[in-house]
Chains A and B, each alone.
Chain A
Amino acid sequence: MTVRVFVPSDTTALAMGADAVARELAALADRRGLDLELVRNGSRGLCWLEPLIEVETTGGRVAYGPVAAADLPALLDAGLLEGAQSHPLCQGLVEQIPYLACQQRLTFARIGVIDPLSIEQYRAHGGFAGLERALPMAPEAIVEEIKTSGLRGRGGAAFPTGIKWDTVRKAGEGQKYIVCNADEGDSGTFADRLVMECDPYMLIEGMTIAGLAVGATRGYIYLRSEYPLAQRNLNIAIERARAAAYLGDSVLGSGRAFHLEVRLGAGAYICGEETSMLESLEGRRGLVRAKPPLPALEGLFGLPTVVNNVLSLAAVPFILDRGAQAYADCGVGRSRGTLPVQLAGNVLRGGLVELAFGVTLRELMEDFGGGTRSGRPLRAVQVGGPLGAYLPAAQWDTPLDYEAFAEVGAVLGHGGVVLFDDTVDMGEQARFSMEFCAVESCGKCTPCRIGSTRGVEVIDRIRAGDRPEANLSLLDELCTTMVDGSLCAMGSMTPIPVQSVMKYFAEDLRPTDNRRR
């Protein structure tokens, strides 16, 4: 009987050598006359085990990882194809690995299970059921469903998705657009990438449902150019979806049109900001637009536009298929559903963790992450990307919940959690925040464009021992000016990580020779 072996194919698995593993496995099978079928699945998001290969057995899929090509002969000898569990790389049944078993995967339920580009497998695992349910529904009923689910935008600002859709739905009759924000510029985040590389039909389905809900017949996925594999997979998936009438002039013969296209960014962080992204899509420099008008009313090419993050749109098929209540039943307070968290940086078990809101940061970092990769004590955690605060130990019991994070002056953002051990120089990190803003500012407002450059200089002076007290208060004032005088969150949030360092890691801002080492 043919044995199916899965070798993942997402960027991280590839970066850790998955292609070499697949090639070697095929060569060995050939040489040894083994009857196996190699499937290139997506990734389960257990990044620290990549490449995590799986073997299908009657008892379930048995996992081995991290596997190097050189491990394969011994693994085969030890009974890999029978799912033998004696080899030290064996992780047991994949679904029972605690890291995976303890998650609540609503959005990422299919990820790593299937071949990302197979429509048949997508359907077999519940795909397109949400779209089929949405097609006969009235637009307001679809929007109502999203409102009831409590879904808030996962791209950073956490704005209620249903309310945004309703604004676009009510914005008259003509041409409207769905724009998917796939810029994922935050360091420490890769959940959008996983969706696009490993379950692209889910995003296509979510965007099509959004189109039905607001009366938009055209969608764009604005994808960062750093993600060429996502581009490839999305383009193939869009082509196949079109061929199977999930996209096109008449979606599944309904007479309702939806067309979808991928457009590439060009390495500018600010183009993740929605109005900058619209400028970029229109073919201009990504200068941020003043709001109002809201993109919902005057968005792409001046027309009503839904702008949503990949994860927001990817949550939609589940909500339509299983019902708003099933989604809303997860979570705490006004943070409903699940949050896909990405554990990154100096972490032992880095990867994707999808959980209902409410778990504490510490539980996440310890129970899932297993602490630091270096084995040294954890010192600081940056949550929410480069504009997010560095949290000291005293704040690690904060629950993952938009409001609870706001209370401690932090943000959840896109769910990126980056761990740093005690060798980190927090003065360096504060300096980098300013430097990043200087490199990536769109340049429209002075506090952000010039203030960030001055910020780097002031931090350098403080660290050089040049009138540290005076310069610290200057830095504080500069931060206030940036917060108050910036048009968008790039300039107004850059001070968040800097001020968190001033407040909680002040010793690292002392002159170099006084600093602890």
Chain B
Amino acid sequence: MTVPSATASDPVQAALDTWQNEPGALLPVLHAVQDSVGYIPREAIAAIADALRLTRAEVSGVISFYHHFRTTPPGRHTVEVCRAEACQAVGARQLEAHAKTRLGLDYHETGADGQFSLEPVYCLGNCACGPSIRIGGAVYGRVSEARFDELLTGLDTRALELR
């Protein structure tokens, strides 16, 4: 191991420095890159492939296989709506439709202003208190349409104040 990840300026190199010699390094590397950059930049693919002695096709294949990895920058806030059965049983379908209208986005889209990304998620493990959503890192339970709007409004104002 060379440079400790905390001081390395290049997040891809930092991820590789931490994981390169571990067995099964590819997923941890991709996670580390996405955690620090927000997505997996095109340029990173070649560097990762070289370092792990894989082809670029192999690395791209892994990225596209897993729903969690993205190759474009996310919005400032990622809103994930649970689409799975336990949430469906308490109104997730209506909540999904509401979220799409409210954000003006379909799943996997990011608004032109870069504020929000909308993503589906299949279960957050909060199934006894659905419908569930996650914004940023935080899970919210029993989310009504009104509560959804409230949560978004909170984010909008904070974003405005910050500017």
A160: min CB distance to chain B, Å: 27
B89 to chain A, nearest CB (A): 3
Q: Are A12 and B128 in contact (CB under 8 A)?
A: yes
Would A185 and B122 count as touching, CB distance under 8 A?
A: yes
Most buried by A among B58, B87, B125: B125
Contact between chains at B89 and A345 (CB < 8 Å): yes
Q: How many A-B residue pairs have CB under 8 A?
A: 151
B85 touches A418 (CB 8 A): yes
Q: What residues on A are CB-neighbors of B132 within 8 Å?
A: 15
B86 at the interface (CB under 8 A from A): yes
**B102 contacts chain A at the CB level, 8 A cutoff:** no
Which one, B66, B84, B93, B141, contacts A12 given CB within 8 A?
B141
Residues of chain B within 8 A of A416, CB atoms compared: 86, 127
A187 touches B85 (CB 8 A): yes
Residues in A neighbouring B127, C-beta threshold 8 A: 187-190, 342, 344-345, 350, 416, 418
In the complex, A280 has a CB within 8 A of chain B? yes
- CB pair A11 B62 closer than 8 Å: no
Contacts of B141 on A, CB cut-off 8 Å?
Answer: 12, 15-16
Per-residue interface assignment for chain A, residues 340 to 383, with 1 indicating a CB less than 8 Å from any chain B CB and 0 otherwise: 00111111001100000000000000000000011000000010
Interface size on A, residues (CB 8 A): 59
Instruction: Name A270's closest neighbour in chain B (CB-CB).
Output: B65
Which of A88-96, A105-113, A119-127, A281-289 interfaces with chain B?
A281-289
Q: How far is the CB of A176 from chain B (nearest CB, A)?
A: 14
Listed stretches B7-15, B24-32, B154-162; interface member = B24-32
Distance, CA A67 to CA B69, complexed state (A): 37
Chain B proximity of A141: nearest CB distance (Å): 31
| Docked pose: A311 CA to B158 CA in angstroms | 41
B4 close to A (CB within 8 Å)? no
Q: Is the interface of A mostly helix, strand, loop or mixed?
A: mixed
B88 part of interface (Cβ distance < 8 Å): yes
Query: With A and B bound together, what is the CA distance between A416 and B127 in angstroms?
Result: 9
List A392-430 residues whose CB lies under 8 Å from chain B: 416, 418-421, 424, 428-429
Q: Which residue of B lies closest to A350 (CB)?
A: B128
Query: Does B74 sit within 8 A of A, measured CB to CB?
Result: no
B98 to chain A, nearest CB (A): 17
CB pair A264–B27 under 8 Å, yes or no, is yes
Q: Which residues of B contact A285 (CB under 8 A)?
A: 61-62, 65-66
Chain B nearest Cβ from A463, distance in angstroms: 15
Bound complex: CA of A350 vs CA of B140, how far in Å?
A: 16
The 6 closest A-B pairs by CB, nearest first: A350-B128, A187-B84, A345-B89, A283-B26, A266-B66, A267-B68
Task: Provide 17 A-B residue pairs closer than 8 Å at the C-beta atoms, listed in order of the A residue.
Answer: A187-B85, A187-B87, A188-B127, A189-B125, A226-B124, A263-B28, A280-B27, A283-B24, A283-B27, A344-B89, A344-B130, A345-B86, A345-B87, A382-B85, A386-B84, A386-B85, A424-B89
Chain A positions near chain B (C-beta within 8 angstroms): 11-12, 14-16, 47-48, 50, 184-190, 193, 225-228, 263-269, 280-286, 301, 342-347, 350-351, 373-374, 382, 386, 416, 418-421, 424, 428-429, 432, 436, 439-440
